Chains A and B, each alone.
Chain A
Amino acid sequence: MSVVSVTTGPRRGWKSVSTWIGAVIVGIAMICALFAPLLAPHDPFAQDLGKRLLVPFWMEGTDPAHLLGTDQLGRDYLSRLIYGCRISMLIGVTVTIVSAVIGIAIGVLGGFLGGRVDDAVLFAITTRLSIPVVLVALAVVGLLGSSMHLLVITLGLLLWDRFAVVARSTTMQVRNLDFVAAAWCAGCSRFRILSREVLPNIASHLVVVATLEIALAILLEAALSFLGLGVPPPLPSWGLMIAEAKDYMFFSPWVIVIPGIALFVLVLGINLLGDGLRDAFGTHRTDT
């Protein structure tokens, strides 16, 4: 007897490992964000011009008091990194809350009411997608002056599209399900149907979108701060840290490597967690 073809099925283990990695990264980031003052070994704003550009622990000539070295103004890099995590998480979460409120409201309305309202919603989404996000955010901050509040509101007003798209399509699916039709027949009010039947059923999809949006908002904040029109100095935003250290990067590459890797790892962690949640909820990708 000869065996011609044998293939193995999918292995689930790998997926759950990556989800756990994501969860651990996000957990650490949350701890850093919440307890930054307790965790940071130094004041992130304290300058010491006598200790400028000290190298991190893996290089020769490091100062044990500054594990990750110091920046061009002698500020402790580890402390700035921890406080920067706080800024990233804060902006990621608040921007996502703002955009979720807008996007879910618009999307659910369009998907639930259909007809003209839905046409208007689709038009709003199309228009929003045609607007260059980075440019408009830069312009707003450039014209009105940089502050955290303004940045959060601007990004929140710009990043609702994915929430709207997903909320709209999932609401449409749920609206056509039997139990919702039954609720209609039982004479429930629109509001009751929306809050009791529709929202709980689309929530898992929206949670997955939220993780993606938090990651996106963090990346955008970093890019805007890098261009000098995001978080105002001397706040230790990772993007701003990279921008300020840019002039020194050719001789001390670690000054941009450290905050960049922190940013990369945090965003990766959030995405891994989001991917894991997507699989756990059994929802499909909507971000392509």
Chain B
Amino acid sequence: MKIQKANAGILTNFEVLDFLRTRGAKVDPMGCLGAVAASECKVYEYLLKTPACNQTRESIYEFVKRSAGFMLAEADKLNVINWRPSSAADAYAMIEECGKRFSRDYRGEACDEDKRVQEFLDMVKEVLPPPPPKAEAEAMQE
């Protein structure tokens, strides 16, 4: 076997989920025996628990467009799309060198980084749908 290209591109969790869904993966393990393998089913179930489960292609395009002014690296955008930060702590975890990146706004002028982080979080909240509440899991634990 010859490897033609080691890395042909990066996919977000949503794209992998969409791909598995079109191949016929379902939550019920018996239902997807023919179309997809058991290991793919496990990946599908894992991804359903992440915020990617109710994203749409349009919301991701919208997010990429709107984040252009924030000067984020590809890796940062991927983290944000996959995990949808909802607080400043989440944003600091997902974006490398968050303080330095947000200390300048899109015009290159210095600005207050906390305010910038908040602007970014508001944009994320607006564009990417929130993950569904884990009400069932909590009920089971009780």
Partners in one complex: no
Interface residues in chain B, defined as those with a beta carbon under 8 Å from any beta carbon in chain A: none
Interface residues in chain A, defined as those with a beta carbon under 8 Å from any beta carbon in chain B: none
